[in-house]
Each structure stands twice: as C-alpha cells, then as structure tokens.
Structure 1
C-alpha cells in the first residue's frame, strides 16, 4: 500500500484538511467543508464521501414549508449526490495512523496480499530488480563493451 507522492487532493483542499504526515496522506475530517474538490482531484478515486447529519437537524425535518427533496437519479456520482441537511464529509484511508499495529486491512487480509511499504523499501526493491535484470539479461558484457569502445 502506498500513498501519493504529490497528493493532488491536498493541493486543491481550500482549508488544508489533507496533509502528508510521516509518508501518509491524512485527512482531518473535522476541518472538511464538504466542497468535494479532493474527490474530483484524486486520480485513483480513493476519497469517498460519507454523510453526517448535524445534531440540530432531525432526520424527518420535512414540513409543509420544507417538503422532502426529490430523490437523486439512480446513477448519480457520489461527487454530485447531495442530501439536504446532510454534510458530506471526505473519508479516505489513513493507514490506521491511530493504531500502533498498523493498517487493519494488512493484518486481517486472509491471503496476505497486502503489505505496508515505505519509499525506502520500494527504492531498494527496484534497485535489486534492476541489478538482477541487468545480470540475467545481458550476461557477459565484454563484447558489448568492446563494441562501444570501438565507436569512440
């Protein structure tokens, strides 16, 4: 699992509710103003919106003066969906930063298909793979090096 290097969601957030903390892109839900710009900017669709009804607005607040809102079309994107009286709060994976044992999905994956890696691990694995590929694919480079030397 890996979070964005540049995090376009953090760039567009007007209230800086999305920050990079220890390599993870974290969202402070209490700062979210429900503008949904982060969800639009995220190239991976990693940000969802979860409704939160303020305590002072009852769920059945429909009156003669405030009839119920018409239902949204069946296939509307969550970025366009809107329910009166409900604040759509951005929610995204925070790698369970509150849990010392790490992400719950990694711990509970029945096939161990998920791993938490940091950028150093990725760089080391990439370097090892390049070295193995170089050694395996090219084998003895003496002929290649001689040809290169003749061209100079």
Structure 2
C-alpha cells in the first residue's frame, strides 16, 4: 500500500501532541518513568508555529527522494514505500537536510552507551518521519492528534478524486 500523511494547518492547534506521540512510539522503554535527562527526545516531525497558523512538518517520502540521492554514505534508503534513515551508515553530514525540499529532516545527537566499556559516545545522525513503519497501529501522529489534523492519503483516494474532478469538468 502506498500512502502519505498530510496535515491540515487549519485544524492544527500547535499543541505538539504529535511530537510526544512520535517519541513514545519510537522509544524502547516507557519514557514516562525515565529520568528526562536520559531520554533521547527526538521526534521525527516538528511543529512550526507562527502568529497566524501552526503546522506539522514531516517527511512526504518523495518518489525521487532527493535526500537519499544526496546522501554520500547510503544513510537514507527506500524500504517499500518509505524513505528510511539507516543510522549505522549516517555520518551526520547534513547533506540530506539541505536536499530535502520541505525541511523535514533534522540532525540530532544520539547518546550511545558502550556496555562493555561503560563509556558514553555521542554521534550525529539524520532524523525524519518513518510512518511508524514498525507499528501495526500506523503513524502515531495520526492516532494521537486531538484535533484530527492529520490524514492518511492512499493512492486509491487520489485516483478516485481525480476521476471525480474529471467527471465534473466534463459537465
């Protein structure tokens, strides 16, 4: 199934619940019982707020994926219909961030703990929406938004709307 998520800025109230839902969905542990300083709070989308409007910004998983083409190290790959960050290959160079036409990629600092040596290591990596591909419930942002500002759009939806518009144009 090929789909993407769009957000309606007229419905978005800028509460950032989508960002929290994203972090919870991608956390291995229950973040509500952890020390806040120990959590990698890196949502895979952001909310832009101005005086007039709020709007979530997230990856559109472009067909031509300019971010993947720009990556010098193979750190961004297509997995099915999703463009995904391969954190092992990502070197944090920010090339993908510059190539993204909608500004949906951030560079974040991850803190790794080497269990054998008891040392901390920080590294930079790209971060972007992955449609919560691992979750059977689908994208967390869609499920947690209190105003239902997010919509999942499928290929079939687009095809039927195009057909309807063509019919109306003939009349």
TM-score for both structures, normalised by structure 2: 0.56
CA offsets 1:84-132 (integer angstroms, 9 cap, x no match): x842210000000010110001111112221222334323322222322
Q: CA–CA distance in 1 between the matches of 2:75 and 2:155? A: 23
Please point out which of 154, 158, 162 is paired with 1:122.
Answer: 158
**Contact (CA 8 Å) 1:23, 1:118: kept in 2 or not?**
no
Q: CA–CA distance in 2 between the matches of 1:124 and 1:46? A: 28
Structure number with the higher strand fraction is 2
Pair 1:46 & 2:104 matched:
yes
Which one has more relative contact order, counting CA pairs under 8 Å at least 6 apart? 2
Query: Are residues 23 and 118 of structure 1, via their aligned partners in 2, closer, same or farther at CA, if it must alter by over 3 Å?
Result: farther
Provide the residue aligned with 2:50 in structure 1. none
Count of matched residue pairs:
110
CA offsets 1:61-96 (integer angstroms, 9 cap, x no match): xxxxxxxxxxxxxxxxxxxxxxxx842210000000
Please point out which of 80, 99, 102 is paired with 2:135.
Answer: 99
- Aligned-pair Cα RMSD in Å: 2.3
Please point out which of 116, 128, 149 is paired with 1:113.
Answer: 149
Bigger-Rg structure (1/2) = 1
Provide the residue aligned with 1:134 in structure 2. 170
5+ residue gaps, structure 1: 60-84, 136-152
Query: Are residues 20 and 131 of structure 1, via their aligned partners in 2, closer, same or farther at CA, if it must alter by over 3 Å?
Result: farther
SS of the equivalent of 2:102 reads coil
What is the Cα deviation at residue 54 of structure 1?
Answer: 5.1
5+ residue gaps, structure 2: 6-59
Query: Are residues 110 and 53 of structure 1, via their aligned partners in 2, closer, same or farther at CA, if it must alter by over 3 Å?
Result: closer
What is the Cα deviation at residue 52 of structure 1?
Answer: 2.1
Provide the residue aligned with 1:89 in structure 2. 125
Query: Are residues 53 and 108 of structure 1, via their aligned partners in 2, closer, same or farther at CA, if it must alter by over 3 Å?
Result: closer
